[in-house]
Amino acid sequence: MPSSLPDSSAEEESNYFNNYPPPKALKNHEALTRAFIERHVESNRRVVLVTSGGTTVPLENQTVRFVDNFSAGTRGATSAEYFLEAGYAVIFLHRQFSLLPYSRHYSHSTNCFLDFMDERPSPSDHGPIVVRSEYQDEMREVLRKYRYAKQNNLLLLLPFTTVTEYLFELRALANLMRPLGANALFYLAAAVSDFFIPRDRMAEHKIQSSEVPVIDGDVYTGLHEDEPHSGSKKLVVDLDPVPKFLHRLVYGWAPEKSMIVSFKLETDPSILVYKARTSLQRYSHHLVIGNLLSTRKWEVVFVTPDPPGERWIRVPKSKRSKSISGVEDQVGLAESKPLVDSGDEVTQLQLGDTRAASGGVGGAAQARKGIEIESIIIPELVKMHSEMIEKANRPRS
């Protein structure tokens, strides 16, 4: 690993960040994070920064419209629960209104909390609202875990919306995590936009359709000035690549000896492993977890610098939830040496020693629903992180 970065990368960083005002919430988030980290440094607890959900790309400075992506934040919210279960404190940097640890079991339209409730009959017509009997056990377990995390200050929820807000937050949080040293873990599961409109080319006001007289040429956004207006009713959006800051995180922002895990998402099985490996080589961090959009709830690949370098983690067929949308036929397609998805034997990790076998969060109900792949991913990561911490603490001979 090089010990420092080329000047161009620091220059790119200042060019980007100097162009934007910091997010309004940043100061408050920094204060909360500082206190959170101080507390956990004192007790020598490991802290993971989990990033989660999509990022928006505004089309106007006073934003009415934006480009978004599919991520609901399931991976991040679920992983955060398993990290808490493994004894970590969690900073949960998430897209506002995406899924949250614990409440994810009862939120959004698929799991509307109202469906879990009932009204107890009463002569007064004002009977108490209760949790339906069939959900009592599951909800008690989730509630207890949620309250434990809250009461012990183990979970810090920090929201962002745009890609720029995300990057400001990531930089600030990573710097604040420095006192944690090897006890810090970065788990970058957010689906960060690759494209955006730089501020100096963004329309200030709501983009108008051409029925409204154009006053100052702001009908198009992101368009380079030398490109001609078509005069049609089309909206032409011209996006630039978002600067890649993973190398800044690895060599500048993050604590020395911390562990950094990024995700790589693809839709084409034939390039997933290649792209994950390329990302690992480019940024020299510790692990890239590759996943396909269509199979991400059943399989991921761990790509590491050391042999074997490519390790697949799969939920056995018999333990896959029936309610998950995805394309089961595509399981196995991205593996460099293809396999037949014939059932339980494809799981290359022992499930027995993880909480997954007993159902993880949600216990019996979770077992009924199938195993969450994060219940296999997180214990594996914890093992890798433990090895790194042990190595970092080993006296030099």
SS3 per residue for 223-240: CCCCCCCCCCCCCCECCE
In the bound state with ligand 9Z3, the residue whose beta carbon lies nearer, of 279 and 347, is 279
Under the criterion CB under 6 A, does residue 79 sit at the interface with ligand 9Z3?
no
Under the criterion CB under 6 A, does residue 72 sit at the interface with ligand 9Z3?
yes
Cβ contact 377:288 at 8 Å: no
In the bound state with ligand 9Z3, the residue whose beta carbon lies nearer, of 291 and 366, is 291
**Cα angle for residues 325, 327, 332 (degrees, 5° grid):** 130
φ/ψ of 23, rounded to 5, equals -55, 145
227-286 residues near ligand 9Z3, rule: CB under 6 A: 262-265
Of 41-49, 66-74, 322-330, 346-354, which part binds ligand 9Z3 (CB under 6 A)?
66-74
In the bound state with ligand 9Z3, the residue whose beta carbon lies nearer, of 5 and 32, is 5
Under the criterion CB under 6 A, does residue 95 sit at the interface with ligand 9Z3?
no
Site string for ligand 9Z3, 329-368 (x = CB under 6 A): ----------------------------------------
Shortest separation between residue 290's beta carbon and ligand 9Z3, angstroms: 8
Shortest separation between residue 207's beta carbon and ligand 9Z3, angstroms: 26
DSSP 340: -
Shortest separation between residue 318's beta carbon and ligand 9Z3, angstroms: 22
Under the criterion CB under 6 A, does residue 192 sit at the interface with ligand 9Z3?
yes
CA distances from 109 to 70, 148, 241 (A): 15, 26, 33
Of 174-182, 187-195, 205-213, 226-234, which part binds ligand 9Z3 (CB under 6 A)?
187-195
User: Beta partners for 208?
Assistant: none
CB atoms near residue 198 (< 10 Å):
16
- Per-position DSSP letters for 143-198, written without gaps between them: HHHHHHHHHTT-EEEEEE-BHHHHHHHHHHHHHHTGGGGGGEEEEE-SB--SEE--
Shortest separation between residue 192's beta carbon and ligand 9Z3, angstroms: 5
Shortest separation between residue 189's beta carbon and ligand 9Z3, angstroms: 5
Site string for ligand 9Z3, 149-178 (x = CB under 6 A): ------------------------------
Cβ contact 286:246 at 8 Å: no
In the bound state with ligand 9Z3, the residue whose beta carbon lies nearer, of 74 and 221, is 74
Q: Binding-site residue total for ligand 9Z3 (CB under 6 A)?
A: 15
Shortest separation between residue 97's beta carbon and ligand 9Z3, angstroms: 13
Site string for ligand 9Z3, 282-321 (x = CB under 6 A): ---------x----x-------------------------
Query: CA-CA distance, 284 to 262, in Å (whole number)?
Result: 11
Handedness of CA 273, 275, 281, 287 (dihedral sign): negative
Distance between terminal CA atoms of the chain? 21
Of 24-32, 185-193, 224-232, 339-347, which part binds ligand 9Z3 (CB under 6 A)?
185-193
- What b-and-e string marks burial along 114-150, b requiring 16 or more CB atoms within 10 Å of the CB? eebeeeeeeeeeeeeeebeeebeebbebbeebbeebe
Query: CA-CA distance, 8 to 179, in Å (whole number)?
Result: 27
| Helices 163-176/7-18 angle, 10° precision | 120
In the bound state with ligand 9Z3, the residue whose beta carbon lies nearer, of 264 and 319, is 264
Under the criterion CB under 6 A, does residue 73 sit at the interface with ligand 9Z3?
yes
Query: Quick check: helix, strand or coil at residue 287?
Result: strand
φ/ψ of 154, rounded to 5, equals -100, -5
Shortest separation between residue 259's beta carbon and ligand 9Z3, angstroms: 15
In the bound state with ligand 9Z3, the residue whose beta carbon lies nearer, of 77 and 223, is 77
In the bound state with ligand 9Z3, the residue whose beta carbon lies nearer, of 40 and 247, is 247
Of 67-75, 321-329, 359-367, 368-376, which part binds ligand 9Z3 (CB under 6 A)?
67-75
For binding to ligand 9Z3 (CB under 6 A), which residues are involved?
71-75, 188-189, 191-192, 262-265, 291, 296
